[in-house]
Amino acid sequence: MRNQVVTTSPSGLRKDTLPYRLYEKAKRLGIWNPRDLDFSRDKEDWLTMTDDQRAGILRLISQFQAGEEAVTVDLLPLIMVIASEGRLEEEMFLTTFLFEEAKHTEFFRLLLDALDIHEDLSVHHAPTYRKIFYEILPETMQRLKHDSSPKAVADASVVYNMFVEGMLAETGYYSFYQSLEKVGKMPGLLEGIGYLKRDESRHIGYGTFLLQRLICEDPSLYEYVEQRLGELLPLAIALNQEGLQDRDESDPMAVDADSVMQFSMKQFQLRLEKLQRAKDRTVEELYRMPEEAFGVL
């Protein structure tokens, strides 16, 4: 039973805290409409590509389409845990988080509709992708419905924010740019990816904050977080390998496998370094840190 209404209490909303500032930033920068994007050039470009080029881009689009749907569906248990703890400012930001994931799902579906693609795209989901998005992500997030312990919340944030968003999605954006920007194709898709990347920087920033807060409150969690990320790393490597194994290096749209792998490993190291810093900070220091310190665009 609720025993206090925070916004009418003497403390009111903590507007100087990082979660509230992320909420304010989301109101300013997150209100873009996927339906305003122009995919007419994308459709023209699509028709000029070779079968292999279309197959490579469609594989990536299909993974993002299913991935964005998955993170939209699977976020709610975390929101419920944060709400049950009375962390109103964090919950307020998480409402924008869920809204944005829903828009990302819509964005990729609108793109597929514009390209007149309506077949079953799950054929493009390789075994590693299925392991991550069909098993690990939903199982980890659904666990929060019956286990809201700090360790379970940390596990959810590691899988969702650090791994799926902070490594896999970031590497996917990189691959889109490497493949399409250098040949000047599909500007509507790339414009949307720019909006997604900005939105996701807030999501990853919140996840970094959440994990740092949990580590501040219980320093022993850092070892578990580090171990969990290490367990997930081979899946990121395998996913990259599965996606790049059939590429034609002479194709101007081909992405360089080594650069993709290096980018992915850089994201892994970046996440760890940011989390390590929590061991030397207090929770109040975290609340007052600038958004830029968490990589928020």
Please give the full DSSP string across 14-48, using - where no structure is assigned: -TTSHHHHHHHHHHHHS---GGGS--HHHHHHHHH
- Whether residue 212 contacts residue 278, with contact meaning beta carbons closer than 8 Å, is answered with yes
pLDDT the model gives residue 9: 63
Nearest to 246 by CA among 236, 255, 237: 255
3-state DSSP call for residue 185?
coil
- How far apart CA 176 and CA 165 sit, in angstroms, is 15
Q: Other CB atoms closer than 10 Å to residue 194's CB: what's the count?
A: 14
Task: Assign residue 151 the CATH number of its domain.
Answer: 1.10.620.20
pLDDT the model gives residue 233: 96
Is residue 6 domain-resident?
A: no
3-state DSSP call for residue 118?
coil
- Tell me the two tokens of residue 156: 């959810």
Look up tokens 């310190």; give the residue: 293
- How far apart CA 94 and CA 114 sit, in angstroms, is 30
- Whether residue 209 contacts residue 157, with contact meaning beta carbons closer than 8 Å, is answered with no
Report the chain (297 residues): mean pLDDT per 10 consecutive residues: 62 89 96 97 97 93 96 97 96 97 98 97 95 98 98 98 96 94 95 97 97 94 96 95 73 86 93 88 92 92
pLDDT the model gives residue 3: 59
Helix (H) or strand (E) holding 192: helix 187-217
- Whether residue 54 contacts residue 46, with contact meaning beta carbons closer than 8 Å, is answered with yes
pLDDT the model gives residue 203: 98
| Domain count along the chain | 1
- How far apart CA 93 and CA 21 sit, in angstroms, is 9
Is residue 206 domain-resident?
A: yes
Domain that holds residue 227: 17-23+38-292
pLDDT the model gives residue 277: 84
Is residue 4 domain-resident?
A: no
Is residue 30 domain-resident?
A: no
pLDDT the model gives residue 182: 85
Name the DSSP class of 102: H
- How far apart CA 171 and CA 182 sit, in angstroms, is 17
Is residue 89 domain-resident?
A: yes
- How far apart CA 136 and CA 138 sit, in angstroms, is 6
Cα-trace Rg, the chain: 20
Backbone angles phi, psi at 247, to 5 degrees: -75, 150
- How far apart CA 57 and CA 175 sit, in angstroms, is 9
| pTM score of the predicted model | 0.94
Look up tokens 């994007």; give the residue: 37
Is residue 237 domain-resident?
A: yes
